[in-house]
């Protein structure tokens, strides 16, 4: 079942399935209240980072030393999916592809 769809900055619909959300919560139960933030982060990230094997990482700054990273893959212009999400204390500036215009 699809819990939500957000459009990436490239206009690709990125789906969040219940299977992926359960995976995220199993590994990171502290993410339980972040489902809307995860979807919003895909649509309006502060940074986009280069991930592994063709993935992208949308980053939203949550506060002092706290960054939400949403890892996803764009399969085509018509489909993509969220792989995982987590909160990091640091931003890996060496992987920045795009920064939101201020």
Q: In which order are the strands placed within the sheet that holds 47-50?
A: 2-7, 13-17, 79-88, 66-76, 56-63, 47-50, 96-99
Q: Provide the whole-model pTM.
A: 0.92
Band of pLDDT at residue 101, cut at 50, 70 and 90:
low
Can you give the pLDDT at residue 102?
57
Can you give the pLDDT at residue 64?
83
Distance of alpha carbon 14 from alpha carbon 10, whole angstroms:
10
Tell me the per-residue pLDDT of 20-71, one tens digit each, with 9 for 90 and over. 999 999 999 999 999 999 999 999 999 999 999 999 999 999 988 899 999 9
Say if CB 12 and CB 73 are below 8 A apart.
no
Q: How many CB atoms sit inside 10 A of residue 71's CB? A: 17
């Amino acid at each position: 079942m699809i819990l939500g769809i957000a459009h990436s900055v490239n206009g690709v619909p990125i789906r969040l399935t219940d299977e992926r959300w359960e995976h995220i919560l199993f590994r990171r139960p502290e993410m339980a209240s972040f489902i809307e933030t995860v979807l919003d982060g895909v649509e309006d990230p502060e940074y986009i980072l280069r991930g592994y094997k063709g993935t992208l990482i949308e980053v939203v700054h949550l506060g002092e030393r706290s960054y939400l990273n949403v890892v996803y893959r764009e399969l085509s212009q018509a489909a993509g999916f969220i792989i995982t999400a987590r909160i990091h204390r640091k931003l890996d500036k060496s992987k920045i592809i795009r920064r939101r215009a201020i």
